[in-house]
Chains A and B, each alone.
Chain A
Amino acid sequence: MLGRLLTRLYSHLLKLYPDRFLDEFGEEMGDVFALALSGLDDSRTPPATRRVKMARLFFREVCYFPPAYLDARRYQVSLGAGETHAGRASYGEGEVTEAWVGRRAPWGEALIGALPFLLFGLAYLLNGFAELGGHYRLAFNLLDGSLNRPAITLTPLMGVYFVSALGLLFGLLKGFPRWSYAYLGMSLYFGWSYNNQNYYGVFYKWWVWLPSFAAIVLGLLLTRSRAPLARLLQGAWNDWTRLSFALYAFALPMFTVVFFDEDWGVFQLYGLFFDTVLLAAVAVAFLRSCTTISRVLSLEAAVLILVVKWLLGGGYPSFDEPLQVLYFWFLFIIIYFGFLLLPAMIGLLRRGVDALSLR
């Protein structure tokens, strides 16, 4: 049971290695890991000890992954300037062709795409506990006797930003597959929304962009190729819903934060939990869809459900001034139609170019 689970997890870990390296060594590595696991299957060892040894074997793979990845990446670069090899079974997608545009993401890939939304929600739930300190102060007091809001609020959120930048780096190394647009959007959200802002006594300046910037520079240094950036543009050109997904990851967290800040209802934390599950579920639905219309509808549905929930939950009356109400609807319209209109323009442009080139 545990052996099967670890073998499965290992096969997912393998997919993170560069493609050409996987082509050369992937099967062997899988076989060696399976042999190492079965080598622990000794009837003289107590089952509990055996399970611990199996888990240690897997965690060794995880711990030594970063240096091994660098070795593998260097090997790939030495073979051919970091070009992504099309047609291999990894999380990358190779060339963005018509076949890939209509591709349904495997579950593993869909969950990776949903991860930043889940983490963002969890981080903000912690923030929620801090915001509602009056209600929950007792719980915090039991922990350490004080409520350290900057630490509770900012550390998890910056952790999510770090994970987003890391996802952006892996996405770049993998040739920007569809799931990576979630990390791209989320990284942009953190950079854009924190820049020149003061949160709990910390004033964020231009340097808040550094994790995103470092991810891109490091990715380009590791691949030593402009191909990943070309793949980003190629992906958006051939499948404009990817840009919609990046906008979703950029705008929806902001939208939920606006709700959160303005909604002082009793069910604030329940609402935030609902938003988190909704955003992640819609990301999975998007990545598991294989048509343009179903992808866009899933994203649009998320915005509509959020607004309806907010209106029904009594958040709307908390806006005191007409200007705030106007701002809210302006934001809604921008986000709702932004998903559709801006990226769809690229789709229309592409159709026009294709039609011209066929003449």
Chain B
Amino acid sequence: MFNQDLPVDEEVPPGLTPLREPTLFILLALSKGRKHGYAILKDVEALSEGRVVLSTGTLYGALARLLEQGVVRKSTDDSGGDSSGSKSRSGSGGIRVRKYYELTQFGHRVLEVEINRLSTILAMAGRGLGEQGI
């Protein structure tokens, strides 16, 4: 259903970047390995030092878009993953297999392009401020 296997060297289509701040932090959280929803939520908060606190609606709205764009993929198997385990207890008491999200190769490329873009802007801003002696 999703474009999971886009080649690495494919150009990042226009419109995909610049990323919105929550999306950038979601990708940064996933760059360290696959994670389930709650772990992403906590990681985003930690990475942004509490500046970006996502609602579940914002998180899953962004994940739906990223899945559709082939930037992340979803897996439900319990091999690997983070240290918090792979199964959760559902509200009704049953065991539910936890779903994980991870960056695709294309997703890594998108993140790289975005970080490069931000670095360039930062460098330009630094130069501009330097010329003004600030």
Contacts and interface: CB of A to CB of B under 8 A. Distances in A.
Describe B's contact surface by its main secondary structure: helix
A261 interface: no
A31 B90 contact: yes
A68 B58 contact: yes
Given A28-B99, A32-B41, A65 B57 contact: yes
Given A36-B38, A78-B68, A27 B90 contact: yes
Interface in A48-76: 60-61, 63-65, 67-72, 74-75
Interface bracket on B: 20 to 34
A32 B57 contact: no
Given A61-B55, A64-B55, A25 B60 contact: yes
A32 B56 contact: yes
Contacts of A34: 91
Nearest to B74: A24
A28 B63 CA distance: 12
A36 B58 contact: no
Contacts of B37: 28-29, 31-32
Given A27-B96, A32-B38, A75-B68, A68 B57 contact: yes
Interface in B52-84: 53, 55-65, 68
A310 interface: no
B55 A25 contact: no
14 contacts: A25-B60, A27-B90, A27-B96, A28-B60, A29-B60, A31-B88, A32-B37, A35-B38, A67-B57, A69-B57, A71-B58, A72-B61, A74-B65, A75-B64
The 10 closest A-B pairs by CB, nearest first: A68-B57, A71-B61, A75-B64, A64-B55, A32-B37, A68-B61, A35-B38, A25-B60, A29-B56, A32-B38
Given A30-B91, A64-B57, A67-B58, 15 more contacts: A7-B91, A21-B64, A29-B56, A29-B57, A31-B38, A31-B90, A34-B91, A36-B38, A60-B53, A61-B57, A65-B55, A68-B61, A71-B61, A72-B60, A72-B61
Interface of B: 36-38, 41-42, 53, 55-65, 68, 88, 90-91, 96, 99
